[in-house]
Structure 1
Amino acid sequence: MQPRDIEHIAVKWFEAFNTKQLDKLLDLYADDAEHFSPKLKIRRPETNGLVRGHNALREWWQDAFDRLPTLYYRVNSLTANGYRVFMEYIRTVQGEEDMLVAEVLEIKDGKIVFSRVYHG
């Protein structure tokens, strides 16, 4: 894939996430995709921060959407190559301090196979 194609997946990811369209978000992921997040590690310690597959991703994000109805990601930058996109964004939630976040999406055959979140 070309970097612009990988970047387009990231744009679609933000659109689906910010409008809380969970099915559209999951459609971007391979069936056996893995996701790592420090927030996941804190909220669900038994996962050690890592979930696998659509069911686990759906459960994680639905919980976030239910708990944080004002959750929104404001894009700062996207940097893509032929198989990965590095995303920098601001996590905003009403009543909480904004948080700078970096996330990497690894892409194979047009689907996200692994995502990893970084923040302080």
Structure 2
Amino acid sequence: MNLECARAFAAEWEGDWNSRDLDRVLAHYHEDVTFGSPVMARFTGDPSGTVHGKEALRRYWAAALGRIPELKFEVVDIRASVHALVIDYRNQIGGRVSEVLTFRDGLVISGFGAYGETLAD
């Protein structure tokens, strides 16, 4: 993935999340996706902080959107790799997050969020 494609993906990703439309967000994810984050671990009580499969990810994100009605992302920076990208963004409470997404066949097959000092409530 080149930087131009990574920027285009990140701009769409930001708009999709800020629309709060899960169908738009999930359109970028593979059916066999694996995704994890420390917020996921805290919300679910599962120390692995990981879900497997698009439907499990949908259920988690639907619950998270219900819990965080003010959710909003602002992309700050993007980095590209061969089959992956990193989106550095600010969340609704000003916390910095990096989301690392790996692609297969044009869709996100795995990803994780990495947080600094501030985690979303």
What band does the TM-score fall into relative to the shorter chain?
Answer: 0.7 to 0.9
Which of 99, 103, 115 is residue 99 of structure 2 equivalent to? 103
Unaligned segments of structure 2, at least 5 residues: 117-121
* Per-residue deviation, 1:60: 1.1
Taking structure 1 as the reference length, the TM-score comes to 0.88
Aligned counterparts of 2:102 and 2:47: Cα–Cα separation in 1: 20
Question: What pairs with 1:57-96 in structure 2 (closer than 5 Å)?
Answer: 57-92=57-92
Fraction of identical pairs, as percent: 28
Structure 1's unaligned 5+ residue stretches are: none
Secondary structure at 1:70's aligned position in 2?
A: coil
Instruction: Give the drift of 1:47.
Output: 5.9
Q: CA deviation at 1:52?
A: 1.0
Instruction: Give CA-to-partner distance per residue, 1:89-108, whole Å, 9 cap, x none.
Output: 1111xxxx421111111111
Match of 1:38? 38
> Under a length normalisation based on structure 2, what TM-score does the superposition of the two structures give?
0.87
Distance 2:18 2:29 in 1: 16
Which residue number in structure 1 is paired with residue 119 of structure 2? none
Matched, 1:118 2:117: no
- State how many pairs are aligned: 116
Contact 1:6 1:107 in 2 (8 A): no
